[in-house]
Amino acid sequence: TGSFVGDIAVVAVSLCDNSERNRFGDDFRGIAIYDVSDPARPQLLSTYDSGERTQGVHEVDVVTRPDGRVLVAATVMQSYLHTEGAKGDVRLIEITDPTAPVELSDWDYRAAVLSPDEILPPGVDEEYHAHSVDFAGGGNRLWAAVWDAGAVLLDIDDPATPVVVNSVEAVASAEGNVHSVIS
């Protein structure tokens, strides 16, 4: 990009103990971005904090789009519940300048798809967390594995405003638990 030449690694950082007591602690959770142009000497370029009360980033995917923008999609499982709806489980972060990551949007199935009268009771709504993400369409689409809701395809032509394109429900005879997506 105009601000960086080399190879980067994006590392998901999550709490091992994600109990409420620990989520309110000061331990870092989010992503760490490293310059690995010399793999024997990785250099930390920056970090992105997924926010207090979150358990951290579970899975990531990275894409360089044809327009030159470099994006990270990250799942912050149960973020929607742990932040009382303030932040969604899927985060889109621009790292075109990997020394200065910028969150462009957050998205959550429960907020974007379910109507207020469909919001599920505690203990059931946690089964609608985003577990995995995978860029498609050159980085203009994003698949999200949303546990019991299935695989959801998002249009992210404008990554600041993800829009649901379609979804594939979990197999009816199965419990659900869509773990991962890859396109």
The three-state DSSP-derived secondary structure of the chain is CCCCCCCEEEEEEECCCCCHHHHCCCCCCEEEEEECCCCCCCEEEEEEECCCCCCECCEEEEEECCCCCEEEEEECCCHHHHCCCCCCCEEEEECCCCCCCEEEEEECHHHHCCCHHHCCCCCCHHHHCEEEEEEEHHHCEEEEEECCCEEEEEECCCCCCCEEEEEECCCCCCCCCCCCCCC
Choose between 29 and 120: higher pLDDT.
Answer: 29
pLDDT range class, residue 91, cuts 50, 70, 90: very high
Say whether pLDDT at 122 is over 70.
no
pLDDT band at 148 (very low <50, low <70, confident <90, very high): confident
Is it the case that residue 121 has pLDDT exceeding 70? no
The answer to whether residue 90 scores a pLDDT higher than 80 is yes
**Cβ-Cβ contacts under 8 Å for 38 (sequence gap 6 or more):** none
Provide the pLDDT for residue 126: 66
Q: How far is 47 from 31, CA to CA, in rounded Å?
A: 6
Given a cut of 90, whether residue 125 has pLDDT beyond it is: no
The band of 172, judged by pLDDT with boundaries at 50, 70 and 90, is low
Residue 38 confidence (pLDDT) above 70: yes
pLDDT classification of 24: cutoffs 50, 70, 90 = confident
pLDDT digits 0-9 by tens, 95-115: 999 999 999 999 999 888 876
- The mean per-residue pLDDT over the stretch 143-172 comes to 88
Q: Report the predicted TM-score, pTM, of the whole model to 2 decimal places.
A: 0.89
The pLDDT score that the predictor gives to residue 150 is: 82
For 47-58, the pLDDT digits (tens) are: 999 998 888 999
